[in-house]
Amino acid sequence: MPRHSRVVLPAVPLHVIQRGHDRQRCFFVDEYFAAYRQWLHEEAVIARCRIHAYVLMSNHVHLLLSVEDVEQLAGMMKGVGQRYAQRFNKLHWASGSPWDGRYKSCLVQTEGYLLTCQRYIELNPVRAGMVRFPGNYKWSSYRSNAEGRHDGVVTPHSVYERLGLDASEREQAYLRLFQQTLTPMQIEQIRAAGNSSGVLGDSAFVASHQRPTPQP
């Protein structure tokens, strides 16, 4: 089966998904989550990737980020993936990669879709039945975006920053968005675009960004 080419455009956000091998667990205890988050932060700085939202689930990772080109994205994902694999294999007396092949990525239309995708990511633990409220899950960006807790991984997107004149206004406005339940159609649209490494947006945006860019 031919490999999908990455669609990466400067200043256009991406929804990135990395799953554990054969959908098996890749995080077991807090030490695993903390190590991955720290390395994610370090590799994002090196690659100049701006991460707007994330969630680390037991067997997969979701990221919402902005990056200038595909090489930077590939470099960040390779860096954090290899560092985590080395730690994972050492602890488990294993070899190979704990990840299920290539990560997936899809373009996200800024207006009307970015904050919806961001909420989708931060609500993953709620949909999975792990917590009743997203703020009860500490391995995501929710506490930073909605509660103002410091998280070195997170760089707010300009769409988020336009929610209010100061941090308090932005957090309150963002919290109000969570009063609106994501519809089944929205969830399916986000999943379909992410799983196919496609494009998330309205019909005009999708039509204008379907042409793949060269694979590095």
Q: Which domains does the chain have, with CATH numbers?
A: 14-199 (3.30.70.1290)
Q: Which amino acid is at 121?
A: I
Mean pLDDT of 40-45: 98
The rounded distance, in Å, linking the Cα atoms of 188 and 141 is 22
How confident is the model over 53-82, as pLDDT tens digits? 999 999 999 999 999 888 999 999 999 999
Residue 164 has pLDDT above 90, yes or no: yes
Element (H, E) at 17: strand 14-19
- What pLDDT is stored for residue 50 in this prediction? 97
Q: Phi/psi class of residue 22: alpha, beta or left (left: φ > 0; alpha: ψ in -120 to 50)?
A: left
Q: For position 191, what pLDDT does the model report? A: 97
- For residue 115 the two structure tokens come to 């904050």
What's residue 214's pLDDT?
46
Q: Say what the pLDDT of residue 98 is.
A: 86
Q: Residue 113 CA to chain centroid, in angstroms? A: 14
How many Å apart are CA 203 and CA 134, to the nearest integer?
Answer: 31
What is the predicted pLDDT for the residue at 5?
61
46 vs 210, higher pLDDT: 46
pTM higher than 0.85: yes
User: Looking at residue 111, what DSSP letter applies?
Assistant: T
* pLDDT at residue 167, as a whole number: 96
Residues 15/106, Cβ–Cβ less than 8 Å: yes
- pLDDT of res. 211: 56
The residue-averaged pLDDT of 128-157 equals 97
